[in-house]
Amino acid sequence: MQKIQPIRGTRDYFGEDSNQFEFIIETASKISAKYGFEVLHTPIFEATEVFKRSIGDETDIVNKEMYSFQTKGEEDVTLRPEFTAGIVRSLLSNSLTQNLPKKFFSYGPVFRYERPQKGRQRQFHQINFEYFGNQSAIADAEMIVMAAEILEALGITQNIELNINTLGDKKSRTDYLTALVEYLKKYESDLSETSKVRLHKNPMRILDSKDEADRKIVAGAPKIPDYLTDEAKEFFDNVIVNMTDNLKIPFIINNEIVRGLDYYNHTVFEFISTDPEIGSQSTILAGGRYDGLVEQMGGGNIPAIGFAAGIERLMLVSKLRCKEAEKYVVISDDDKKALEIATKLRKKGLIAEIPLGSNFKKKLEKANKLNAAYTIFDFTEGLQIKDMKTGEQQGFSL
């Protein structure tokens, strides 16, 4: 009989992988709490319209990658392809805009139908952070420094570059798009097939194309800074001043950073790994400002900024390995007595296991397989504790 396998693009987590997975969530939660973030859990599926309204009908995500289906009640729903849209929906449906600013930390599975690759599955997982109600450049700098602190706590400090760009305000983006399309149309026949489609639907996505022919064309394209309004320039200058003078975080201004979703404006940023081992998917954490999204989804004119990181991608580049908690194994001829001893240990916050059965030798083998730090023996003459690493053994009272 053929062994049952997981669906393509999904995977199981156990052992060291599971420990690493949980450590990333725990680290992100602790650090974001210092910055005033509260945990927000939203459903893993929403009405399809939530994502169409926020992400944009012409994006690859909506057109090709979403897991959408109709319920028995004939509702159109979609498994979340990203967190921000569902969090904005929660902000509005729970009337959380009455008490701004709000900062939310979320985590969990995300779903996109695309070719599985290193660090990216069809069901992958993200840590996600959103900050609503602050339109100051200080908020942008604060989010970037928090992201840097999380990466540092995960041991992700080498071969990492912070790239920052601005998309400007609405007028800046409109003027730039006009100039960009005018330039790209001259080279339309030389663009990749994907970029030919994007030229008419989402032209800014061509800027981050990985196709070599596209890259050569993009090199001569108009640059965003040349089309910024005075207000947009001032905002970006303030972000940069905070980054250099106050926070002293090294970064590169990269005018080709645009982000893949339509709702971004002003500051966008990516932490990129230059380690060749992780493959072409080099962005490990990314985000930016999206001041118009809440209004676009039916709320007020509420400024917002956020970022997300794929947990699988972080696991690839993190150099930290989680220290396994020390285990105690309790061995006794009387299983009830073993349970009594183990229960006392557990109430003290220790990890205790009981190998059951009548064979002493097999119980000892089980203790070794469990990689126990200590084994407690309930002998007739009293209790003995053995350090499994050194072999030292001594008596003690319960």
Give me the CATH number covering residue 44.
Answer: 3.30.930.10
Q: Answer with the one of 297, 317, 337 that is the final residue of a domain.
A: 317
* CA 51 to centroid of chain Cα atoms: 18
Report pLDDT for 258. Answer: 74
pLDDT exceeds 60 at position 260: no
Report the pLDDT averaged over residues 257-283. 78
For residue 280, name the pLDDT band (cuts at 50, 70, 90). Answer: low
pLDDT on residue 359: 78
Query: What 3-state DSSP class applies to 136?
Result: coil
pLDDT of 374-388, one tens digit each?
888 888 788 889 888
Whether residue 363 sits in one domain with residue 275: no
Q: Is 293 inside a domain boundary?
A: yes
Is there a domain that residue 201 lies in?
A: no
Same structural domain, 297 and 346: no
- pLDDT greater than 80 at residue 253: yes
Could you give the CA distance from residue 147 to residue 151 in angstroms, rounded to a whole number? 6
Residues 266 and 386 in one domain: no
Residue 213 falls inside a structural domain = no
CATH of the domain at 358: 3.40.50.800
Q: Is the model's pTM score more than 0.75?
A: yes
Residue type present at position 192: S
Say yes or no: 339 and 300 in one domain. Answer: no
Is the same domain home to 309 and 358? no
What pLDDT was estimated at residue 261? 62
Is the Cβ–Cβ distance between 122 and 8 less than 8 Å? yes
Q: Which of the given ranges, 97-106, 250-259, 295-304, has the highest pLDDT on average?
A: 97-106
Let me know whether 54 and 118 are in one domain. Answer: yes
Instruction: Give me the pLDDT at residue 58, please.
Output: 56
346 occurs within a structural domain: yes
Spatial strand order of the sheet with 123-132 comes to: 38-39, 102-111, 123-132, 304-310, 283-289, 265-273, 160-166, 252-253
Of 317, 339, 362, the domain-final residue: 317
Does position 44 have pLDDT exceeding 90, yes or no?
yes
Tell me what percent of the residues of the chain surpass a pLDDT of 90. Answer: 42
Query: In this structure, are 274 and 151 located in the same domain?
Result: yes
Report yes or no: 284 and 310 within 8 Å, Cβ to Cβ. Answer: yes
pLDDT tens, position by position, 106-120: 999 999 988 877 767
Tell me, yes or no, whether 7 lies in a domain.
Answer: no
Residues 233 and 376 in one domain: no
pLDDT of residue 123: 93
Position 143 in a domain: yes
80 contacts 86 by C-beta, under 8 angstroms:
yes
Last residue of a domain, one of 266, 291, 317: 317
Q: Please report whether residue 144 resides in a domain.
A: yes
Four-residue CA torsion sign, 167, 171, 177, 180: negative
In a domain, 1, yes or no: no
Range of the domain at 34: 15-169+229-317
Mean pLDDT of 278-293: 84
Is residue 69 domain-shared with residue 104, that is, in the same domain?
A: yes
Residue from 296, 298, 250 nearest 272 by CA: 250
What does the buried/exposed string (b/e) look like for 166-183 if buried means 16 or more CB atoms within 10 Å of the residue's CB?
Answer: bbbbeebbebbeeebbee
Let me know whether 356 and 309 are in one domain: no
Give the count of domains, the chain.
2
- Kindly state whether residues 116 and 235 are assigned to the same domain: yes
64 by Cβ neighbours in 10 Å (0-12 / 13-18 / 19+) ranks as: exposed
135 and 77 both lie in a single domain: yes
